[in-house]
Structure 1
Amino acid sequence: MFRADTWNRIKNLCQRLAEGRGRPDDLEAVSSLIEQVSPMEEYFAFPGRLVVLQIKSLFRDEAYEELFALVNKIVGALMSESYRRKHINLHSIIDVSEQDEEEAEDNDERIRRRPYFEVLIVDDISHAQQRQQRDSLTDFRRDEDAFTYEPIFVPSFEDALIAVLFNPAIQSVVIRFGFKLRSAHNMPVLNRYLMQAQLENLDDLEPQDYGVALADVVNAMRPELDLYLVTDQAVEDIAGRVGDACRRVFYNREDFLELHTNILRGVDARYDTPFFTALKQYSKQPTGVFHAMPISRGKSIAKSHWIKDMGEFYGMNIFLAETSATSGGLDSLLEPHGPIKKAQEMAARAFGARKTFFATNGTSTCNKIVVQALVRPGDIVLVDRDCHKSHHYGMVLSGAEVIYLDSFPLHQYSMYGAVPLREIKKILLELKAAGKLHRVKMLLLTNCTFDGIVYNVERYMEECLAIKPDLVFLWDEAWFGFARFGPTYRTRTAMHSADTLRKKYKSEAYRTLYAKKQKELAKVKDGDIDGLLEKHLYPDPDKVRIRAYATQSTHKTLTALRQGSMIHMYDQDFNSKVEESFHEAYMTHTSTSPNYQILASLDVGRRQVELEGFDLVQKQVELAMVLRQRVSTHPLLSKHFKVLTVRDMIPAEHRQSGIESYYDPERGWNEIWDAWSGDEFCLDATRVTLFVGGTGLDGDTFKNDVLMDQYGIQINKTSRNTVLFMTNIGTTRSSIAYLIEILVKIAKDLEERTEDMNGPERRVHEKKVHSLTHELPPLPDFSRFHDAFRPDPNGTTPEGDMRTAFFLAYAEEECEYLGLTDGTLAKAMEEGRQVVSATFIIPYPPGFPILVPGQVVSDEIIEFLRNLDVKEIHGYRSDLGLRVFTEDALVRSAERMRGK
């Protein structure tokens, strides 16, 4: 956005100069802006370095009319992205404004009806040599090429890094052997991108190693790019050193035809959508339908007199592409061997997984598949208590003995954060001391949380593996599918962290580190759990196994139809220990009639993020930052609303970097790289949590009665005094502007209403505000499982058998209701009775169980439920109360449990 806005400012100033309305400081402003944009354009093919030189020449010659015409054309092409569709002639400025029609019809101008991208060539050569190389590549273009591209040349290592992080149109990088280390530019906006690369000891590199080092760094930052290395060294040696980073290594000066075909082939490999393509081909085939789907080929619609509007609304392609999986028309999701199999393999590559499986009934099903495949009855599983309800039901189905983990609470905003590492380590060490570590199978956490709290995945896995070296991790990344395609975000994803750790533990450097740390740990006394909690723990490289799973709601954050989800896995023991059980679990939960349109959308969504995910995620983050800035600096918005910052949502002890906000009105933008690399928790910038307590409206009312009913603005999540705005890859600047406009209208209306209030009305309003800002019910922790559902009631660890409690509640005679409002529940608890929930009790919001089957009802939980002002509480019947187990049922259950 900075680049586009800078060009727009130049255009506006040049228009005033061209019209003879220039102001005294316009010349200096234009000169300054041109100097700002000049180094940036060296990283783009359009308009490019040569055109900037032309602009500078026109400005020096005071040819303001021609200057404005040229700049206006550049801005128009940038805004509309027409330069991607046709060649824009900027070098001739005679009657520039009247050339569009002629250019559109001129075959020599190469109308681009094919996808366009840019190729970065890293080589310190003269401009004449650059033109020669460009012509050598573009001379091989053919009409039958599937894509078209333009080359960009940069002379240094640093410039190459800036280019791939600054220019999202780059799809291929050609690294030659004659480039420099340092960039000639020193611009703060460009330095941000160098900081993002997080390079260390760059000056220690030898010139002969620049190419290999650059390939490694670019591959780490943007793994989707195709890299080609041209070297004057022993090509066989170099090929072995670059590994998977480069698609091809060329010796000396490569054959330009070979390079051209490789560039197109590399992009085509990512552009390919095997299942979507097969589905399109199937829809064109004339077939006779004699299977159990009348809607297939649209026949039941086309011949209808009453539902033709359905066909008109959806179009016929969606019905032409419908078929039965059992009819043999296309691949089978349950036993893939053709295009679905290939599509899943390509998705695994894109998301950094070793295996990927598609799902057409949402991540709720994905979660249950993974749990059932890995967990057996009696296994101990550590579970984030405020995770999605599908995980809790998964525990019931698998028969796991559950230990619930409490997240840090944010009482003032009625929301939970995430589970501190210290708590998890403590539980694992206690299980080890109790002799139960061998039964611990899985740690299940949500990354990132609905409210945007992101775990330090790599550190969590490392320290937990130090205690339990074969621990399985299930990271629920339902809302984090986009993260793979942002270089900073990627470092906190499950698949990236798993791959990083596996490579780390195979290195000699790690073995040396491990030996050193073991000597330090030897000073900690046996059984000193508190002493171990203070240490960073490291796993034994000879025992550790990397076993990570991530479930992803692709449809939530990327392009896919509703319920389109994926299971990604990086499990070293999958083939030997999990493959058969996973297959059975997948069969158990996956429909035999999967929706092919959902599968096709997953395939296309993967194509999109491999080719433009970096660009889309970058813009998504920028728009969220702009929204933060506007609310924080607008005098009226900042008076009535507050964007919650990192400081508000993550306690200081979990923010080792000390960062407090992404944007501060006094200091501007803060760098977040240190926070994302080291802090225990970070905040996803794409989620903007707005505190609305000062309006006197609770979050649910603000969402439904104001945003939705009055202005048509849709959001997912609220708390008692906040609403959550999420940007995504489809968010536009216009939608952000509309939201800001509406918030200003709401603030103005609030100002007017409060000014017009009489005394009693003002007191009522102030009471509501005070209630939403100061009288917030404390968030309860998980209490405990009743002894009747604890396999080891006398033990020191808190695992519970939720499955037994869940199915015991099927018997009506074992349960009764105690009223929350009629006093029967309070009376029972005052008399000393241990009241135990027979069902899941799930208020919306926050949307996770406050009570689970077998859990003891605590005073804190009752107080929280009494103070809730939400309309939905699943599992609770307002007419009857809480469904709980009878005291006799608990006695019988305890006897049966002891009988085990």
Structure 2
Amino acid sequence: MDNSRAYNSVWQFRGDAWCRLEEAADRLTRPSTTGDLKEEYVAICHDLLINLAPLEPYWAFPGSPQFAKIQRLFNAGAYDKFAHTVARINRALTTESYRTGDVDTAGADDTADLFPADPRTLESQPANRREQLYFEVLVVEKMTEAQERALRKEVRSWRRPDDEFVYELVVVGSGDEALIAARLNVNLQAVVIRRRFSHQSPRDLTTLSEFIDHELSHDLDDHKSPDERAAILAKSLHELRPELDLFLMTEIEVEDIAGRLGQSFRRVFHAREGVLELHLSILQGVAARYRTPFFSALKQYSHRPTGVFHALPISQGKSIVNSHWIKDMVGFYGLDVFMAETSATCGGLDSLLEPTGPLRESQQLAAEAYGSRHTYFVTNGTSTANKIVTQSLVAPGDIVLLDRNCHQSHHYGMMLAGANVVYLEAYPLADYTMYGAVPLREIKSKLLALKAAGKLDRVKMISLTNCTFDGIVYDTERVMEECLAIKPDLVFLWDEAWFAFARFHPVYRQRTAMETARRLRTKLADPEYRVSYTEQLTHEGPLSDEELLNRRLRPDPAEARVRVYATQSTHKTLTSLRQGSMIHVFDQDFEQKVSEAFHEAYMAHTSTSPNYQILASLDLGRRQVALEGVELVQRQIENAMQLRDAIDNHPLLSKYMSCLRTSDLIPQQFRPSGIAQPLRSGLKNMMAVWDSDEFVLDPSRITLSIGRTGYDGDQFKREQLMDRHGVQINKTSRNTVLFMTNIGTTRSSVAFLVEVLVKIAGELEESISEMGLGERARFEQKVRRLTTNSASLPNFSGFHPVFRDGTQTPEGDVRRAFYLSYDDTHCEYLSTDEIFDKIDAGAQVVSATFVTPYPPGFPVLVPGQVFSQEILTFLRELDTPEIHGYKPELGFRVYTEKAIEGLRPARWSDLPQPSVIG
């Protein structure tokens, strides 16, 4: 499988191999193909069949029987039949016509599904059209070919025309092959484990060794009972693909086994009695995930005749269809959008503020899909989600540790909640004028300083962005464990606005907030961990702050509480209408300490007239990832890897542009694995890096260094990508642009981007070749400025003492500083030069506003923060025309010296002290 380059690319390699096999087989049968040329195509077909042979047992189509047939035809020299069969199979794979469930004849129709991805065909489909949706079921049991054929035939005999779903079987005989199939076959929705399976396959799995869990093979050896082995395999499959429904079939002691192993399986069946019931349970399990309670209720409502005598003239399109001037609105959006418009919460619908019906069910299904204890829908973006969580957890005077580079909604949330903020510094990437993520040592040092100052009891929450806009991903488990070792009841808010998709990939999942919370809760409740912790504590005794800072810490299982929140922009990385977001909660103390405050915060920030189309899209987006999330995210990653390869391997593109590597974006001290390019080192290396390194790089993001083009990031984005070619991106820096693949990215869109970049590079190459000496010198000067001279990245300069509670620790009262500016007499505008002069004279100049340049998109100044020369220099040298909080004609809004002198320092003791804070 030499061609399966890049991370986890087996699925794409397989598709391309079938296409190449069809082309070679066709050439083999042409009359003009003779002699050495024919031998060449025979050799190509032979090699491709060898490469495909280890893969095909893990898919139902074409499946082992059909693949064995084409091998026999090829070996017998029946090249015409061989070519015809290969063409039929490849056609079915390409058009996915095999998903009708008739795998034996799939691909026979040359015109079937000729344009299966054309969205216009979806718009014209009748609403009552019934299409049986296809999936595959993995059966783990040693079988003969005859037994396998009989089982397939029996399963097909149970199909009924009115079934909503249809499935085919994939049969493997060993535990290691079961995990290979679960990794490779994204069509799987259920697994049936029977008692008779081996721990290792008799097949040669050398080419698939990167997908084999050797530790599992050892655990499944024959020394354990069949039931123990079934439970071990089920646990591994659940860790790998938690969405799969697992079933167990056994012949003995079914009742006893169900009592002992029922938590590992959806159902346990007797092998002789429950085969048909198993079939119905498989369909029911998929149907449960397919359910969309709110979307279905809204769709049903839209078909009811109603009289609207309250609000919303647009309801059922009545204010549009009777209009003389805006009928084109229906033509553009379609009538169903308006038929579903309502502000009613009855008639089968529900209230977002107090859900008791279909919305409540939809949120519960989302919680199951995302691994949370509670999930809440948000219809006005993750900015609002962040404010809801912050306001529900933080009271005035509470101390919050906050990533300074986080989204502005967190800063405003701190202001609204009245938090005292300790800003955390991320490591700088000065060469690219961007920041990375916050090192764990930085977090621990701030917590230990607060502890030394006697303020640890006031520390309520830490908020971090995972992953960052540029794709830096935290080791969430280590961060939470070490923080809880210092502050056992610390609440974690992980901003996963750009990371909602991560739940649905086995490598990504381990670094998501909800999965880490689940694992951490299990670990802290494990008796073995409690014994180990006690022994370590007895052996080591009390540790100094310096020792705590310099070693890996473990939380005390008797004191630590798992309190984790994640906010996600579903609309950014998964399927949802704009502003569709979710809040996920895994908080042991939620019901006792937070639920009432959360409800009030949710009411404060949520519209009483939410957009029902957004809510319905969140419901549908959950269904999608619950049934095909693994496939979509895998394809997203692979498309990103193909884009990297296309850029870095292209002789012209690589002359002017390069994709930044993990080692470019994550300094060596945060990568104990020492692997500079884990994204290109195979799945095993990538998994090792994600297990060990403090920070890792999200493969789906490509930061493209463009300094050698002479364009800065903003110019390249506006003038080249967007204005000329319609390529949309969000993030740029001084000398980089960021491309993000998503679940909607296709290979065609990747090819289009490569084509655009090649065109830009080609035009640049031609332009440079025609430059005169002076023009060439100016161009080279631009390149030097973009590739060598970089603006220094300033740290947080600190709050003015009047906004701080003492001088030992750096927290500041953002709310007090923010509202002071509401009195215009407290403020004035100063130019950059005027501020420089005041700083040189020894004065402290204090910002009255948030000052946020785009890019990089985070506040470099917050209300109450003192200006520094480093910050002013950074702002002056920054190549961006957009700086929020700065008016070119006036300057920066700052507090007057009189206003500052009239304040006395903030004191925690001055605030009203609540008796209980969640």
**TM-score, normalization by structure 2:** 0.93
Per-residue Cα deviation, 1:98-127 (whole angstroms, up to 9, x for no partner): 7979xxxxxxxxx99211001111110111
Per-residue Cα deviation, 1:815-853 (whole angstroms, up to 9, x for no partner): 111101xx2111111111111111000000000000000
Provide the rounded CA distance (Å) in 1 between the counterparts of 2:349 and 2:884: 40
Provide the rounded CA distance (Å) in 2 between the counterparts of 1:386 and 1:98: 55
Change (3 A) 1:506 1:13: same
Question: Would you say 1:29 and 2:25 are equivalent positions?
Answer: no
CA displacement at 1:791 relative to structure 2: 1.8
- Match in the other structure for 2:302: 283
- Match in the other structure for 2:885: 875
Determine if contact 2:219/2:232 at 8 Å carries over to the other structure. Answer: no
Change (3 A) 1:13 1:774: same
Provide the rounded CA distance (Å) in 2 between the counterparts of 1:741 and 1:685: 21
CA displacement at 1:238 relative to structure 2: 3.0
Question: Would you say 1:74 and 2:84 are equivalent positions?
Answer: no
Determine if contact 1:47/1:74 at 8 Å carries over to the other structure. Answer: yes
Question: Would you say 1:797 and 2:809 are equivalent positions?
Answer: yes
- Match in the other structure for 2:116: none
- Match in the other structure for 2:644: 628
- Match in the other structure for 2:873: 863
- Match in the other structure for 2:433: 414
Aligned residue type for 1:839: T
Provide the rounded CA distance (Å) in 1 between the counterparts of 2:683 and 2:601: 47
Per-residue Cα deviation, 1:192-213 (whole angstroms, up to 9, x for no partner): 2225998775558625222111
Determine if contact 1:84/1:112 at 8 Å carries over to the other structure. Answer: no
User: Which residue, out of 107, 110, 125, partners 2:143?
Assistant: 125
Per-residue Cα deviation, 1:855-899 (whole angstroms, up to 9, x for no partner): 011111011001011011001111111111111111112267599
Per-residue Cα deviation, 1:774-816 (whole angstroms, up to 9, x for no partner): 1110111111111010022x3x211111110000011111111
> Which structure 2 residues correspond to residues 473-872 of structure 1 after superposition, within 5 A?
473-522=492-541, 524=543, 528-662=544-678, 671-792=685-806, 794=807, 796-820=808-832, 823-872=833-882
Provide the rounded CA distance (Å) in 1 between the counterparts of 2:130 and 2:105: 17
Determine if contact 1:112/1:148 at 8 Å carries over to the other structure. Answer: no
Aligned residue type for 1:333: L
Change (3 A) 1:467 1:97: closer
CA displacement at 1:237 relative to structure 2: 4.0
Per-residue Cα deviation, 1:312-362 (whole angstroms, up to 9, x for no partner): 100000000011135666200001000000000000000000000000000
Change (3 A) 1:410 1:99: closer
Provide the rounded CA distance (Å) in 2 between the counterparts of 1:348 and 1:612: 17
- Tell me the SS of whatever aligns to 2:422: strand
Which sits farther off after the overlay, 26-35 or 442-451? 26-35
- Match in the other structure for 1:45: 60
For structure 2, which runs of at least 5 residues remain unmatched after alignment? 1-11, 114-128, 911-918
Change (3 A) 1:521 1:280: same
Change (3 A) 1:783 1:153: same
Change (3 A) 1:12 1:510: same
- Match in the other structure for 2:247: 228
Aligned residue type for 1:128: A
Determine if contact 1:837/1:853 at 8 Å carries over to the other structure. Answer: yes
Provide the rounded CA distance (Å) in 1 between the counterparts of 2:369 and 2:263: 14
Question: Would you say 1:177 and 2:195 are equivalent positions?
Answer: yes
CA displacement at 1:659 relative to structure 2: 1.4
Change (3 A) 1:40 1:589: same
- Tell me the SS of whatever aligns to 1:370: helix
Provide the rounded CA distance (Å) in 1 between the counterparts of 2:605 and 2:262: 39
Provide the rounded CA distance (Å) in 1 between the counterparts of 2:88 and 2:618: 38
Per-residue Cα deviation, 1:383-413 (whole angstroms, up to 9, x for no partner): 0000000000000000001000000000001
Change (3 A) 1:895 1:433: closer
Change (3 A) 1:327 1:176: closer
- Match in the other structure for 1:104: none
- Match in the other structure for 2:208: 190
- Match in the other structure for 1:313: 332
CA displacement at 1:662 relative to structure 2: 3.6
Aligned residue type for 1:596: Y
Provide the rounded CA distance (Å) in 2 between the counterparts of 1:197 and 1:414: 43
Determine if contact 1:272/1:607 at 8 Å carries over to the other structure. Answer: yes
Change (3 A) 1:805 1:227: same
- Match in the other structure for 1:301: 320
- Match in the other structure for 1:141: 159
Determine if contact 2:231/2:264 at 8 Å carries over to the other structure. Answer: no
- Tell me the SS of whatever aligns to 2:672: coil
Determine if contact 2:292/2:620 at 8 Å carries over to the other structure. Answer: yes
Which sits farther off after the overlay, 632-641 or 696-705? 632-641
Which sits farther off after the overlay, 189-198 or 871-880? 189-198
- Match in the other structure for 2:4: none
- Tell me the SS of whatever aligns to 1:584: helix
Determine if contact 1:70/1:90 at 8 Å carries over to the other structure. Answer: no
Change (3 A) 1:573 1:684: same
CA displacement at 1:85 relative to structure 2: 2.6
Per-residue Cα deviation, 1:75-103 (whole angstroms, up to 9, x for no partner): 11101101113525459x9xx677979xx
User: Which residue, out of 6, 11, 14, partners 1:3?
Assistant: 14
Change (3 A) 1:5 1:462: same
> Which structure 2 residues correspond to residues 371-410 of structure 1 after superposition, within 5 A?
371-410=390-429
CA displacement at 1:519 relative to structure 2: 3.4
Change (3 A) 1:864 1:707: same
Provide the rounded CA distance (Å) in 1 between the counterparts of 2:414 and 2:648: 43
Provide the rounded CA distance (Å) in 2 between the counterparts of 1:197 and 1:661: 26
- Tell me the SS of whatever aligns to 2:464: strand
Aligned residue type for 1:634: H
Question: Would you say 1:161 and 2:171 are equivalent positions?
Answer: no
Aligned residue type for 1:135: K
- Match in the other structure for 1:85: 100
Change (3 A) 1:660 1:178: same
Change (3 A) 1:541 1:199: farther
Change (3 A) 1:200 1:433: farther
Question: Would you say 1:151 and 2:169 are equivalent positions?
Answer: yes
Provide the rounded CA distance (Å) in 2 between the counterparts of 1:731 and 1:430: 46
- State the Cα RMSD in Å: 2.0
Determine if contact 1:161/1:197 at 8 Å carries over to the other structure. Answer: no
Determine if contact 2:849/2:893 at 8 Å carries over to the other structure. Answer: yes
Determine if contact 2:200/2:217 at 8 Å carries over to the other structure. Answer: no
CA displacement at 1:190 relative to structure 2: 2.3
Count of aligned positions: 879
Provide the rounded CA distance (Å) in 2 between the counterparts of 1:211 and 1:186: 23
Per-residue Cα deviation, 1:422-461 (whole angstroms, up to 9, x for no partner): 1111111111111111110001000000000000001110
Which sits farther off after the overlay, 253-262 or 299-308? 253-262
Change (3 A) 1:540 1:897: closer
Provide the rounded CA distance (Å) in 1 between the counterparts of 2:216 and 2:824: 61
Question: Would you say 1:258 and 2:238 are equivalent positions?
Answer: no
Provide the rounded CA distance (Å) in 1 between the counterparts of 2:200 and 2:684: 25
Change (3 A) 1:326 1:7: closer
Determine if contact 2:301/2:347 at 8 Å carries over to the other structure. Answer: no
Provide the rounded CA distance (Å) in 1 between the counterparts of 2:71 and 2:855: 58
Determine if contact 1:279/1:330 at 8 Å carries over to the other structure. Answer: yes
Determine if contact 1:86/1:112 at 8 Å carries over to the other structure. Answer: no
